[in-house]
Chain A
């Protein structure tokens, strides 16, 4: 089955038709998606700038991690769920859209870099042992933030590349 065939099949599924025809659902789900992006940016800014040494200088990495990581994961979960609803409602809009797949690839990269970066942040010993840890982590932290920004750009461009 090709992507086009899958997309066509999904488009005709009752759930997909219902989501599409109940006019309020897609805009509402999109709004929740954007609110989740805001939570992502808020927690991402604090986490990445802490990692880079620009923010929360008097707090331990562990404290910042414990406070904001749950919000980041929660936002990602909500983004995934709302994204799934939008994809189900309008599969033709995304499944054959190269901007959408670029965005998904970036999301995968961001997801794994989040997993990898946060683990050292939890280990205060590492941060305390090397005063240059922040400087070494700086480009990685800023890259992490840049990837989220690129994802947002891709997200907006989906609508313009159909």
Chain B
């Protein structure tokens, strides 16, 4: 089975049809928006601290410890609802350029986060309470803010550019 066959198969499943042809889609979409807003909103606090803007906690480590659990729970919710939305019309979304770019931006945000954790966070005990973190931390924060802004913009464009399937 190739990719197109898989996407077409998904389109015909009971789950996909059920979501697509009922009010389930708008409800799932609403939860998706709430989840995304929480991901970006909480991550923005962390990113702005990394860029050098004060948060309510001076310590970067403590700020991360306090906020990131919310970010992760919201992200898990966003991915789950996103998967259901995707499945509801897999062939249309798979070929939608803003959707593809949205996923690419999320992947890049993940890479940015991984790089930050591997390289920069190791030395956080040296700059934890500095008002102005090192350059690499600032770059990570700014990249994250930019990428997540792009995720939201591409996400909104999906609705304006979706081609119907069939």
Chain A residues close to B by CB (< 8 Å): 27-28, 30-31, 34-35, 37-46, 50, 55-56, 58-59, 63-64, 67-68, 149, 152-153, 155-157, 159-160
* Cβ contacts under 8 Å, B70 to chain A: 45
In the assembly, what is the distance between CA of A40 and CA of B39, in Å?
12
Which residues of B does A touch, CB under 8 Å? 23, 26, 29-30, 33-34, 36-45, 54-57, 66-67, 70, 149, 152-153, 155-157, 160
- Find B30's partner among A38, A46, A157 (CB 8 Å cutoff): A157
Interface contact B41-A45, CB-CB below 8 Å = yes
Q: Given that A27-B160, A35-B152, A41-B34 are contacting pairs, would A67 and B41 also be in contact in the complex, using a CB cutoff of 8 Å?
A: no
Cα A155 to Cα B156 in complex, Å, equals 13
- Bound complex: CA of A138 vs CA of B68, how far in Å? 22
Question: CB distance B156 to A34 under 8 Å?
Answer: yes
Contact B156 A157 (CB under 8 A): no
In the complex, the chain B residue whose C-beta lies closest to that of A43 is B41
> Are B26 and A27 neighbours in the complex by a CB distance under 8 Å?
no
Q: Establish whether residues A46 and B45, one from each chain, have CB atoms under 8 Å apart when the complex forms.
A: yes
Q: What CA separation (Å) do A42 and B148 show in the bound complex? A: 14
Minimum CB distance partner of B28 in chain A: A156
Residue with the highest number of chain B CB atoms closer than 10 Å, among A38, A63, A160: A38
CB neighbours (8 Å) of B45 from chain A are 42-43, 46
Contacts of B42 in A (CB 8 A): 41-42, 45
Please give me the residue from chain A that is nearest to B45 by CB atom: A42
Closest to B160 in A: A27
Contact of B36 among A38, A43, A50, A155 (CB under 8 A): A38
Residues in A whose Cβ lies below 8 Å from that of B156: 27, 30-31, 34
Q: Across the interface, name the chain A residue whose C-beta is closest to B55.
A: A67
The 4 closest A-B pairs by CB, nearest first: A42-B41, A38-B40, A41-B41, A41-B37
Which chain B residue lies CB-closest to A67?
B56
Q: Check B30 against A39 for contact (C-beta < 8 Å).
A: no
Does the CB pair B38–A41 fall under 8 Å?
Answer: yes
